[in-house]
Amino acid sequence: MSLHRDAARVLDAWSAPDPSQEQLRSTYLQHLLRHPDAMARSCAPEHLTASALVVSHDHRRVLLTLHARLGRWLQTGGHCDDDRTLHGAALREAQEESGIPGLVIDPVPVLLSRHRVPCGRLRPAHHLDVQHVCVAPGDAAAVRSEESWDLAWFDVDALPEQTDDSVRGLVSACLVRLRHPVSSRQSSSSQGSPATADTPSR
């Protein structure tokens, strides 16, 4: 299955948590229908991306990266390259940007986020981000990549000042997801199970 087909399948099965997220889900599906290259960064001025919030094994801390171009603390994530699945792209980005092996990802998206970015030649440009949650092993040691100015763990109730509302909302949604895993229908549709600290890495 191609990445494009996987994205369409996952979003078609996904149950949005509120009307605004349902509107985004519809927007993403329409974009996929209209653009065979919707998953590629060459699809301008909008394309789908994948990200993941890395959460500590005890769910008390989150790992954020200080983005070098934007100057804000964000979850890990980025463009889908040669990935075969959305959650595979999110997991790859999380592993590359955190330096942590053995991350466990929930294959079912947590939230969607359409945000403006300095990307490509056509402006304004937007990423249609599909956001996931990862759980780190208990002995996780994060290593900063060249893509960020800094990489740090933060208590979930003490996020840094340079964290925007969208990331704060994602943190809250991920904690809810970890406390209340998705239904068996969504999980099976995404070919995986909700992330827990005891689930083997994909």
Q: What is the mean pLDDT of residues 14-18?
A: 97
Q: Look at the block and give the residue holding tokens 């083997």.
A: 200
Give residue 201's pLDDT. Answer: 28
In tens, the pLDDT along 156-185 reads: 999 998 899 999 999 999 999 999 987 534
Residue 145 has pLDDT above 70, yes or no: yes
Q: Look at the block and give the residue holding tokens 């549709």.
A: 189
- How far is the C-alpha of 117 from the C-alpha of 26, rounded, in Å? 21
- How far is the C-alpha of 107 from the C-alpha of 193, rounded, in Å? 7
Work out whether the CA dihedral 74, 111, 130, 199 comes out positive or negative.
positive
Domain ranges of the chain: 3-189
Q: Pull the structure tokens for residue 195.
A: 């992330």
Range name among 38-42, 64-68, 180-184 with the lowest pLDDT average? 180-184
Residue 63 has pLDDT above 80, yes or no: yes
Give residue 121's pLDDT. Answer: 67
Q: Which residue has the higher pLDDT, 13 or 202?
A: 13
Give residue 186's pLDDT. Answer: 58
In tens, the pLDDT along 69-112 reads: 778 899 999 999 889 999 999 999 999 999 999 999 999 999 99
User: Which residues, 6+ apart, have CB-to-CB distance to 41 below 8 Å?
Assistant: 47, 79, 119, 120
To which CATH superfamily is domain 3-189 assigned? Nucleoside Triphosphate Pyrophosphohydrolase (3.90.79.10)
Q: What is the mean pLDDT of residues 8-26?
A: 98
Q: What is the mean pLDDT of residues 32-52?
A: 96
Q: Which residue has the higher pLDDT, 154 or 125?
A: 154
Give residue 162's pLDDT. Answer: 83
Evaluate whether 135 touches 104 at the Cβ level (below 8 Å): yes
Q: What is the mean pLDDT of residues 132-143?
A: 96
In tens, the pLDDT along 103-135 reads: 999 999 999 999 887 666 666 789 999 999 999
Work out whether the CA dihedral 113, 179, 16, 133 comes out positive or negative.
positive
Give residue 122's pLDDT. Answer: 61
Give residue 69's pLDDT. Answer: 76
> What b/e sequence results for 12-27 when a residue is b if at least 16 CB atoms lie within 10 Å of its CB, and e otherwise?
eebebeeeebeebbee
- How far is the C-alpha of 84 from the C-alpha of 202, rounded, in Å? 13
